[in-house]
Structure 1
Amino acid sequence: MSADDGVPPGPATGGDGPGTTGRDQSGRVAGTDPERTGPTGIRWRDQAIAVGWLVLVWNLLWGEFTWGNLLGGLLVAGAVLVFFPLPPVTFAGRLRPRALLVFCVRFAVELVSASAHVARIAVQPGYRPRSAIIAVPLRVRTDLNLTLTAEVLSLVPGTLIVEVDRDAGILYVHVLDVRGPADLAACRERIHGVEERIVRAVGSDAELRRVRTEPVERGTEP
């Protein structure tokens, strides 16, 4: 396995030393992103949505909707949110049906193409594919975009998320069957294409302008 060393792996650290948060020159805590935070009302809304989904899953696990299961789901959801808090993921974009349809069609095509490619590798006698781990910085570094892009890539055969640097907005992706720098560049271009289609489908206007105008970082080129 070969590793692309354009960007050093591992989570970014800031501040006065390892494990510290630190502050930048503006006084803001390093590692925080204004895009990940929002008004208190939005955070409460997100918490309420999370509770609703957890209660639904709890009732589905029991196989029936009863008042007892509803109460139990509320208690479990409350305990999960209190004792296992997750970073807030706020949806600030808007749904674009046409772009969402384009994303679904392209995803289906890539899914079939990647499955056929992996199947060919598996049955080809004597062929030993080379793999690599590449660092891909995303242009929209919100938690939602990181999550959606990572999930979509993980569903496609031949690509697997190894690590996510949340602060720097970098995905470390294991890719299968690469023969040289041209293949690595093609993989990065494909991943950025996935990110752009996701932003076009559900991103905000500001995020859409960013993926259209912000160039891809050259620090990770092979």
Structure 2
Amino acid sequence: MTGPAAGAAPGPPDRGVRARLGRWRDWLIAYGWLVLVWNLLWGEVSWGNLLGGLLVAGVVLVFFPLPPVTFGGRLRLRGLLVFGVRFVVELVQASLHVARIAVQPGYVPRSAIVAVRLRIPTDLNLALTAEALSLVPGTLIVEVDRAGGRLYVHVLDVRRPADLTAAREQVRALERRIIAAVGSTAEVRRMRSEPAEKESS
């Protein structure tokens, strides 16, 4: 019996090892996001909030395990920067808008619920888009249709049909920025090639 040929390339890494490494990577990503969300909900980053987030995130992942969400994208510095700047701008604008409504005498704002179908209906994109929308004053996620890839968003101060269209476009623009920041190459290409779906109120 002859041994392996001299100079032969080593075989591929063990699939079991790669699968375990992938699960650990996904677990760490989920852990980091939970810690970040915890600090955002408290409104400030401090040592107490950081330690509390680490503890709460660990408890959630150990005792209430989330369904596996595989991260197949890549982090893009330019996309992350654009997302961060735009998110802060929209946060300030929405806060000023809500504050104006609150102090305007006799003004009663009308609200509406709009359905928006995301073009990348993965669990991760649904979660990231819904979380980012919930952090903006004046918008609230009412329901997530996982099977249909839709978000049902409660929008404040709707006065005309154009406001509904603008609300949907805001959600779709947010999704584009998220995919541009952390999406895979295929997802970025799909966002650029597929037109947005028209939906009724």
Q: TM-score range by the shorter chain?
A: 0.7 to 0.9
Q: Is the 8 A contact 1:89 1:144 kept in 2?
A: yes
Aligned to 2:167: 187
Unaligned runs of 5+ in 1: 1-38, 64-72
Alignment partner of 1:60 is 2:51: yes
Corresponding residue number in structure 1 for 2:200: 221
For 1:64-75, what aligned pairs fall within 5 Å after superposition?
A: none
What TM-score do the two structures reach when normalised by structure 1?
0.67
TM-score (norm 2): 0.74
Pair 1:114-2:94 in alignment: yes
| Matched residue, 2:40 | none
- 1:96 paired to 2:76: yes
Cα 1:46/1:160, change in 2 over 3 Å:
same
Contact (CA 8 Å) 1:95, 1:201: kept in 2 or not?
Answer: yes
Q: Deviations over 1:105-163 (max 9, x none)?
A: 11111111111111111111111100001111101111111111111101111000111
Cα distance in 1 for residues equivalent to 2:147 and 2:81: 31
Runs of 4+ in structure 1 off by over 2 angstroms are 39-54, 79-85
RMSD of equivalent CA atoms: 3.0
Shift of residue 166, structure 1, vs aligned partner: 1.2
Percent identity, aligned pairs only, is: 69
Seen in structure 2, the aligned counterparts of structure 1 residues 52 and 206 have a Cα distance that, compared at 3 Å, is closer
Instruction: Say yes or no: does 1:175 pair with 2:155.
Output: yes
Structure 1 position 149 matched with structure 2 position 129 = yes
Task: Give the whole-Å Cα distance in 1 for the aligned partners of 2:129 and 2:33.
Answer: 21
Q: CA 1:46–1:116 in structure 2 vs 1: closer, same or farther (change >3 Å)?
A: same
2:151 aligned counterpart, secondary structure: strand
- The answer for unaligned runs of 5 or more in structure 2 is 1-17, 35-47
Cα distance change, pair 85–181 in 1 and its aligned pair in 2 (3 A): same
2:140 corresponds, among 154, 160, 164, to 160
